[in-house]
Structure 1
Amino acid sequence: MQSIIDGINKLYSEWSGAACDRIEILPQSGSDRRYFRIHASKGTAIATHGHNIPENETFLYFSQHFYNQQLPVPEIYALGEDKTIYLQQDLGDVSLLNRLEAEGFTENIYDLFKKSLHQLALLQIKGHQGLDYTRCLTNQEFGKQAIMADLLYFKYYFLDALRKPYDKQKLIDDFEALSTYLTHTEYKYFMFRDFQSRNILVSPGDAVHFIDYQGGMQGAPQYDVASMIWQARANLPDDWKDSLLNDYIDSFEQIVNEQVNRDLFKSQYNGYVLIRLLQVLGAYGFRGLFERKAQFLTSIPQALKNLRSFINDQSLGIAVPEFSKVLQMCVSDEIIDRFTPLVADEETPLVVKVHSFSYKKGIPQDSSGNGGGYVFDCRGILNPGRIEQFKSQTGRDKGVKDYLEQQTRMTEFLNSVFDIVDISVEDYIRRGFESLSVNFGCTGGQHRSVYAADALARHLRNKFKVKVELKHVEQEAKNWVNG
């Protein structure tokens, strides 16, 4: 990490002629890229580090092309000699998804979605002009092969994991028919590929800017609209979905200066909604069912409900009988219930007692009379307490949390813990049990165990709405002595 920070310092100094005052490590997203905020007398900038040089080159090429067209993307300031580090404009860290979750389905939020879709149409059409698609990271066009890849992704990583019978050859035949139908679209422009509210940054004054379009290629404009309007986490109301689609078509017609056959446009849009919903389910299946990452498993029920809402209300414009049968199976109550965790209510007696402790002082006693519960040893995780700047901090301080999340295997460790504890919590809620204890120990009960206990308490409250008693044994003892 230090070598990356040194590289950022060097690149920033070469570009600006001044040194950084401070470099802030930003939380890591789902990709392998790392982001940093540079604080300096000239203001802030974002530094990005990524080992995938072709991905960096594609992002930089697209960004420069779009920026020259006065489209809402960050300005690129500088690129390091080895092409693993680049500097870009700081657009803040408030996404449209953040605003939606904070404010709800208000008129102002609707206007931000409408504005984003208008800017999307500009990006797709104006950005397409003069763009060299040979610079794309993967495929140059979202054609039949790419559509089939998304459908097969869903098949292998979600559908087949259900272990339900279906006619595999008939399904592949339907995939072929659907991908052929969608390939013959009337319009092909730049396709963002991952256009959703978390990739739209909202700055003061409600200006919107786009990030993470390096996976883009030429394709049908309806795909990006489907990605945004049907994003599972946003969970937009049905009337918003209909109105926003019409708003987008209005913008599209205005920019291309011609009238659109709305029935055909919407029919193909429905096909891309389905493709996007299934691609997301495939991703959740891969991350959740195969990589065992709990946060993706908990997203599956809403994604399935989105899919059920879509297939019950919309027509694809093409007959795909086996595919239709498979989709109805996927959105059945049985399958949705399989992925929906039990949620505690006011009558649920269960209390989960989560403790952090120091192994030097001993494992906390279970006062419930049930003989104790889980004890997880965090000492296999790198210890931030060995680093001078963290010695006086705890697992609740930002620097320590960043270190554990970004430089250790703590996230992987906790995902496994969540999987194990979830089994007991679901069973205890179902059977009416009253108590479960979960203890995290480390050498001093100060850094790793505190962070882990906080993370589990947050996970259980979010997923099961269960009552949690959280106690940091060593830290509370210190506070009592100091007080």
Structure 2
Amino acid sequence: MQSIIDGINKLYAEWSGSACDRIEILPQSGSDRRYFRIHTKKGTCIATHGHNVPENETFIYFSQHFYNQQLPVPEIYALSEDKTIYLQQDLGDVSLLNRLEEEGFCDNIYNLFKASLHQLALLQIKGHDGLDYSRCLTNQEFGKQAIMADLLYFKYYFLDALRKPYDKQKLIDDFEALSNYLTHTEYKYFMFRDFQSRNILVTPVNTVHFIDYQGGMQGAPQYDVASMIWQARANLPDDWKENLLNDYIDSFEQIKNEQINRHLFKSQYNGYVLIRLLQVLGAYGFRGLFERKAQFLTSIPQALKNLRVFINDHNLGIAVPEFSKVLQVCVSDEIIDRFTPLTADEETPLTVSVQSFSFRKGIPADTSGNGGGYVFDCRGILNPGRLEQFKTQTGRDKGVKDFLEQQTRMAEFLNSVFDIVDISVEDYIRRGFDHLSVSFGCTGGQHRSVYAADALARHLRNKFKVKVELKHVEQEAKNWVNEAK
């Protein structure tokens, strides 16, 4: 990490002629790229580090092309000699998804979605003019090959993980038929490829800007609209979905200055909604079922419910019998229930006691009378307490949390812990048990165990809505001693 920080300092000094005052490490997203906020007296900018040089080059080329067209993307300031670090305009941290989760389904949020779709149409049409698609990261066009890739992504990483029988050859034949049908679209412009509310940043004055379009290519504009309107995490109401689609078509016609065949446009849109829903399920399957990342697993039930609503209410315009049969299996109550965690209610007696402690002082006794429970040893994780700047901090301080998240295997450790503890929590809720104990120990009970206990408590509250009693044994003892003095 220090070598990256040094590289950012060097690039910023070369570009601006002055040094950084402070470099803030930003939370990591789902990709392998790392983001940093540079603070100076002149203001802030964002530094991005990525080992994938072709991806960096594509993003920078697209950004410069779109920015010159006065489209809502960040300005690129500088690129390092080895092309692994670049500086870009700071558009803030607030996404459209953040605003939706904060304000709910109100008129202000609807207008932000509408504005985003209008800007999308501008990006697709104006950004298409003069764009060199040979600079794309993967495919130059979202044609049959790319559509088949998305369908197979769903098959391998989600469908096959269900271990349900189906006719593999008939399914591939249906994939071929659907791919051919969707390839013959009337309109082809720049396709963002991952247009969703998380990739739309909203300024304090309610203007919107786009990020993460490096996977873009030429393709059907309906795909991006489907990606946004049917995003599982956003879970937009049905009337919003219909109205926003019409708003987008209005913008599309206005920018093109021509009327379009709305019936044909919507028919093809439905096909791309399905492709996008399946591609997302494939991604959730890969990240959740194979990489064991809990946040992706918890998104699967809503994605399946979205898919069920869609296939029950919309016609693809093409017969794909084996595919239709497979989709009905995926959205069955059995499969949705498999991925939906059992949650507590007001009458659930279970309380989970989560605590951190120091192995030097010994494992805390379970006073519930039940005995048992889990004790996890965090000493296999690199200890931030060995570093001078963290000696007086705890696992609740930002510097320690950044260190554990970015320079250790704490995330892998906790994902395994979550998998184990979740089994007991679900079983205890179902059987009416009233207590489970989970303890995390490290050398001093100050850094790793505190962070891990907080993370598990947050996970259990979010996933199971269960009562959690959180205690940091060593830290609470120190506070008591300090107060007594």
Specify if TM > 0.5.
Answer: yes
Aligned-partner SS, 2:231: coil
**What 5-or-longer segments of structure 2 have no aligned partner?**
none
In the TM superposition, residue 295 of structure 1 has moved relative to its aligned partner by 1.6
CA distance in 1 between counterparts of 2:388 and 2:197 reads 40
1:369 deviates by 1.6
Deviations 1:264-285 (A, max 9, x none): 1001000000000001111111
- Which ranges of structure 1 fall in alignment gaps of 5 or more residues? none
Deviates more, 1:417-426 or 1:367-376: 367-376
**1:289, distance to aligned residue in structure 2 (A):** 1.4
How far does residue 221 in structure 1 lie from its aligned partner after superposition?
A: 0.2
Q: Render the CA deviation track for 1:14-44: whole Å, top value 9, x for unaligned.
A: 1111111100000011111100000001100
User: Matched residue of 2:440: which SS?
Assistant: strand
Corresponding position of 2:421: 421
Cα offsets for 1:84-132 (capped at 9, x unmatched): 1100000000000000000000100000000000000000000000000
Aligned-pair CA distance for 1:152: 0.6
Shifted more, 278-287 versus 188-197: the winner is: 278-287
The offset of 1:286, in angstroms, is 1.2
Deviations along 1:408-435, one digit per CA (max 9) or x if unpaired, are 1001110000000000000000111111
Check whether the contact 1:352–1:466 (CA below 8 A) recurs between aligned residues.
yes
Percent of matched pairs sharing the same residue:
91
Give yes or no for contact 1:353–1:469 (8 Å, CA) kept in 2.
yes
Give the whole-Å Cα distance in 2 for the aligned partners of 1:386 and 1:212. 37
Calculate the TM-score normalised by the size of structure 2: 0.99
- Higher mean displacement: 265-274 or 165-174: 165-174
* Residues 426-449 of structure 1, C-alpha deviations (whole Å, 9 max, x = no match): 000011111100000000000000
CA displacement at 1:165 relative to structure 2: 1.2
Q: Which range is displaced more, 447-456 or 156-165?
A: 156-165
Give the Cα–Cα distance (whole angstroms) in 1 for the partners of residues 298 and 207 of structure 2: 32
Instruction: Check conservation: 1:344, 1:464, Cα contact below 8 A.
Output: yes
* Structure 1 residue 179: Cα displacement: 0.5
Kindly indicate whether residue 259 of structure 2 is the aligned counterpart of residue 286 of structure 1.
no
Matched, 1:346 2:346: yes
Would the aligned equivalents of 1:141 and 1:218 in 2 still touch at CA under 8 Å?
Answer: yes
Match of 1:195 in 2: 195
Shift of 1:360: 0.3
Looking at structure 1, the residues matched to 398 and 469 of structure 2 have their Cα atoms a distance apart, in angstroms, of 23
Question: Deviation per CA, 1:375-394, whole angstroms, max 9, x where unpaired?
Answer: 00001101111111111110
Is 1:54 matched up with 2:51?
no
Aligned to 1:245: 245
**What's the offset of the Cα at 1:258?**
1.0
SS in structure 2 at match of 1:128: coil
Work out whether residues 355 and 453 of structure 1, in 8 Å CA contact, stay in contact via their aligned partners in 2.
yes
> 1:31 maps to which residue?
31
**What secondary structure, in the 3-state scheme, does the structure 1 residue paired with 2:134 have?**
helix
Distance (Å, rounded) in 2 between the aligned partners of 1:107 and 1:296? 29
Partner in structure 1 of residue 370 of structure 2: 370
CA deviations over 1:232-253 (Å, ceiling 9, x no partner): 0000000000000000000000
Q: Could you tell me how far apart the structure 2 residues matched to 1:407 and 1:478 are?
A: 28
1:443-475, Cα deviation, whole Å (9 max, x unpaired): 000000000000000000000000000000000
- Aligned 8 A contact 1:365 1:372 in 2: no
DSSP-derived class of the 2:376 partner: strand
Q: 1:318-360 deviations in whole A, cap 9, x for unaligned? A: 1111111111111011111111110001111110000000000
CA contact (8 A) 1:395 1:448 kept: yes
Q: Contact (CA 8 Å) 1:352, 1:438: kept in 2 or not? A: yes
| CA displacement at 1:372 relative to structure 2 | 2.6
2:453 and 2:465 map into 1 onto residues whose CA distance is 16
How many angstroms does 1:368 deviate by?
1.3
| Alpha-carbon RMSD | 0.6
Q: Distance in 1 between matches of 2:181 and 2:56?
A: 33
**Helix, strand or coil at the partner of 1:83:** coil
Describe the superposition over 1:143-180 as per-residue Cα deviations: whole angstroms up to 9, x where unpaired. 00000010011111111111111111111111101000
Following the alignment from structure 2 to structure 1, what is the Cα–Cα distance between the partners of residues 317 and 480?
69
* Alpha-carbon shift at residue 294 of structure 1 (Å): 1.8
| 8 Å CA contact retained: 1:461, 1:467 | yes
Higher mean displacement: 42-51 or 293-302 = 293-302
Superposed displacement of residue 60, structure 1: 0.3
Q: Distance in 2 between matches of 1:38 and 1:294?
A: 31
Task: Provide the secondary structure at the position in 1 that maps to 2:46.
Answer: strand
Cα shift readout 1:201-233 (whole Å, capped 9, x = no counterpart): 001110100000000000000000000000000
Q: Which is further off, 10-19 or 97-106? A: 10-19
Worse overlay, 367-376 or 56-65: 367-376
Instruction: Give aligned pairs, total.
Output: 482
